[in-house]
Amino acid sequence: MTVRKIAVLGAGSIGTAFAVLFAAAGATVRIWDPLTEARERALSDVRTRLGLLHANGLLDEPPERALERISFSEEAVEAVAGASLVQECAPERAEVKRELFARVAAGVDDDTVLASSSSAIVPSSIAAGSDRAAQIVVGHPGNPPYLLPVIEVVPSPASRADIVAAAMAVYRDAGLSPVLVRQEAEGFIFNRLQGAVLREAYCLVRDGVASVEDVDTVMRRGLGRRWAFIGPFETADLNTRGGIASHAAKMGPAYERMGAERGQHDPWSPELVAEVAARRRESLPLDEWERRVAWRDEQLLRFRKAFDGPA
Ligand SMILES: NC(=O)C1=CN([C@@H]2O[C@H](COP(=O)(O)OP(=O)(O)OC[C@H]3O[C@@H](n4cnc5c(N)ncnc54)[C@H](O)[C@@H]3O)[C@@H](O)[C@H]2O)C=CC1
Ligand SMILES: O=C(O)[C@@H](O)C(=O)[C@H](O)[C@@H](O)CO
């Protein structure tokens, strides 16, 4: 990583995880949290997790050396001085995030990225009334970011293009795969997808269709294994000879009925299916479909051996 200075504001679950990510990537990290016990717990957690990464070949220096790049500040405005990116990790309340960015506004440079870790709050709500609104984006990770390499970068209409680009670059340098969310939507991509699954999972338990454990088993030993290396569109594409257009023709009506049962009327229109199918065909011509299905099975075999022992 280009040696950068990162400020982490909030040393809870995700702030600690970001400190591990950025320190392991070579950055200097300044952490601030209002609670002394949070700072103390964070130091212990960071040390443990850097050791985990090193023990598994994901940190190519002694953990103590990476830990030397992490320090704690008594004041938030001190933590952000000279930072190229501020990762806000305060509680999921818009007013808390707004107040925190206001508190450090005088301490950052005009090209400092101000990134909120928010799980669902759109950046325009966090940036409302801020003199630094052009520098504010959401940088939403999967937990933990040092092991889940995706992050959603969500600009508001006020976010400057160079700030968005800088955020993407910092996260890429830290080993993440940044995804640009093209329109503000509560929950962005990650938590809207996760929310759709959780909504249905709660309904299945509520209606007595499945136990909590069985819902998790179906995900853990079924859906989740495929989704660990191919997304929902590629999964459907590879499930059906003829690809996703064929899948939609066969399964579209059933999925539409399931959605209507939950009061959601968003059928896969022919135009929408054609748009998705065209993108899938650009990624995988149909004459390569068999080969990709074989590749899929090879990945699932790796999971079987890793998680279930010999097949
Ligand atoms: N925990 C998770 O799996 C993920 C959480 N997030 C988001 O990250 C943010 C933080 O979440 P968690 O780390 O889970 O919360 P947490 O409750 O574990 O940590 C929050 C920390 O913020 C500190 N804090 C309280 N008031 C503060 C203030 N005014 N300024 C700075 N820090 C303050 C608290 O002392 C605490 O240490 C939330 O917006 C959350 O939605 C995003 C992705 C994943
Ligand atoms: O699931 C994740 O890792 C994140 O996308 C989240 O935002 C958290 O789960 C969130 O829902 C709870 O803090």
Final residue belonging to a domain, choices 149, 180, 211: 180
Residue (of 232, 130, 124) closest to 185 by Cα position: 124
How close is the Cα of 191 to the center of ligand 2, in Å?
7
Q: Do both 74 and 122 map to the same domain?
A: yes
Cβ pair 9, 79 in contact under 8 A: yes
How close is the Cα of 26 to the center of ligand 2, in Å?
25
With a threshold of 0.90, does the pTM exceed it? Answer: yes
Determine which residue's CA is closest to atom 5 belonging to ligand 2: 142
User: ipTM greater than 0.90, yes or no?
Assistant: yes
Find where tokens 């929902």 sit. Answer: 232
CB distance 118 to ligand 2 below 6 Å: no
CA of 142, closest atom in ligand 2: 3
Which amino acid appears at position 308 of this protein? D
Q: Do both 167 and 247 map to the same domain?
A: no
Q: Do both 206 and 100 map to the same domain?
A: no
Residue 131 confidence class, pLDDT cut points 50, 70, 90? very high
CA of 13, closest atom in ligand 2: 13
Q: Do both 72 and 172 map to the same domain?
A: yes
Q: Do both 35 and 139 map to the same domain?
A: yes
> What's the pLDDT tens digit per position in 141-150?
999 999 999 9
Say what the pLDDT of residue 311 is. Answer: 53
Residue 2 confidence class, pLDDT cut points 50, 70, 90? low
Q: Do both 199 and 150 map to the same domain?
A: no
> What's the pLDDT tens digit per position in 69-82?
999 999 999 999 99
- 189 vs 194: CA distance, rounded Å: 8
> What's the pLDDT tens digit per position in 102-114?
999 999 999 999 9
- The single-letter DSSP state of residue 2 is -
Q: In the chain, how many domains are there? A: 2
Report residue 10 as tokens: 């909030």
Say what the pLDDT of residue 309 is. Answer: 72
How close is the Cα of 211 to the center of ligand 1, in Å?
31
Q: Do both 127 and 260 map to the same domain?
A: no
Positive or negative, the CA dihedral 88, 90, 96, 100 is negative
Q: Do both 147 and 248 map to the same domain?
A: no
> Does a structural domain hold residue 185?
no
Q: Do both 163 and 206 map to the same domain?
A: no
Say what the pLDDT of residue 3 is. Answer: 60
Mean of pLDDT over the chain? 96
Say what the pLDDT of residue 308 is. Answer: 87
How close is the Cα of 251 to the center of ligand 1, in Å?
40
Task: Tell me the CATH number at 145.
Answer: 3.40.50.720
Q: Provide, rounded to the nearest whole percent, the portion of the chain with pLDDT above 70.
A: 98
Final residue belonging to a domain, choices 180, 203, 223: 180
> What's the pLDDT tens digit per position in 208-247?
999 999 999 999 999 999 999 999 999 999 999 999 999 9
Q: Do both 195 and 176 map to the same domain?
A: no
CB atoms within 10 A of CB 149: 15
Mean pLDDT of 48-77: 96
Mean pLDDT of 19-39: 97
Q: Pick from 119, 146, 181 the residue to mutate for probing ligand 2's pocket: most ligand atoms within 8 Å of its CB.
A: 119
| Domain coverage including residue 115 | 5-180
